[in-house]
Structure 1
Amino acid sequence: MRFTDFTAFDLVLLAQGLGVNLALFLGTSLIGLVIGIAWAIVRYYCVPVLSACITFFSELLKNSPVLVQLFLVFFGLPGLLHIRVTPVTAAAITLSANTAAFVYVIAVSGIESIGRDQLEAARVFGLSRRQVLRHIVAPQAAAFAVGPLIALLVNQLQVTSLISVIGVVDLTKIGNILNMRTLKPFVVWTAVGLLYFAAAKLVAFVGSRFEKRLRAHSAWRGL
Structure 2
Amino acid sequence: MRFSDFTSYDLILLAQGLGTNIALFLVTSLIGLLIGLSWALVRFYRVPVLAQVVTFLSELLKNSPVLVQLFLVFFGLPALLHIRVTPVTAATITLSANTAAFVYVIAVSAIESIEREQVEAARVFGLTRWHVLRHIVSPQAAAFAVGPLVALLVNQLQVTSLISVIGVVDLTKIGHILNMRTLKPFVVWTVVGLLYYGAAKLVALLGERLENRLRAHSAWRGL
The TM-score, its normalising length taken from structure 2, stands at 0.99
State the number of aligned residues. Answer: 223
1:79 aligns with 2:79: yes
Distance 1:178 1:38 in 2: 42
Partner of 1:38: 38
Partner of 1:99: 99
1:48 aligns with 2:48: yes
Q: Which amino acid aligns with 2:36?
A: G
Partner of 2:57: 57
Pairs within 5 Å for 1:167-182: 167-182=167-182
Partner of 2:161: 161
Distance 2:85 2:94 in 1: 12
SS state at 2:85 partner:
coil
Q: Which amino acid aligns with 2:119?
A: L
- C-alpha displacement of 1:3: 1.9
Query: Once the two structures are superposed, what CA deviation does each residue of 1:8-61 show, in whole Å capped at 9, x if it has no partner?
Result: 000000000000000000000000000000000000000110000000000000
Query: Once the two structures are superposed, what CA deviation does each residue of 1:125-176 show, in whole Å capped at 9, x if it has no partner?
Result: 1000010000001111101000000000000000000000000000000000
SS state at 1:127 partner:
coil
Pairs within 5 Å for 1:204-215: 204-215=204-215
Distance 1:117 1:177 in 2: 59
Partner of 2:144: 144
Q: Which amino acid aligns with 1:104?
A: Y
- C-alpha displacement of 1:194: 0.2
- C-alpha displacement of 1:4: 1.6
Q: Which amino acid aligns with 1:5?
A: D
Partner of 2:13: 13
- C-alpha displacement of 1:187: 0.2
* CA-based RMSD: 0.4
Partner of 2:117: 117
Q: Which amino acid aligns with 1:214?
A: L
Distance 1:138 1:81 in 2: 40
- C-alpha displacement of 1:102: 0.0
The TM-score, its normalising length taken from structure 1, stands at 0.99
Distance 1:58 1:124 in 2: 33
Distance 2:153 2:165 in 1: 21
- C-alpha displacement of 1:206: 0.4
SS state at 2:46 partner:
coil
Distance 1:22 1:125 in 2: 46
Partner of 1:193: 193
Distance 1:138 1:210 in 2: 15
SS state at 1:94 partner:
helix
Query: Once the two structures are superposed, what CA deviation does each residue of 1:53-80 show, in whole Å capped at 9, x if it has no partner?
Result: 0000000000000000000000000001
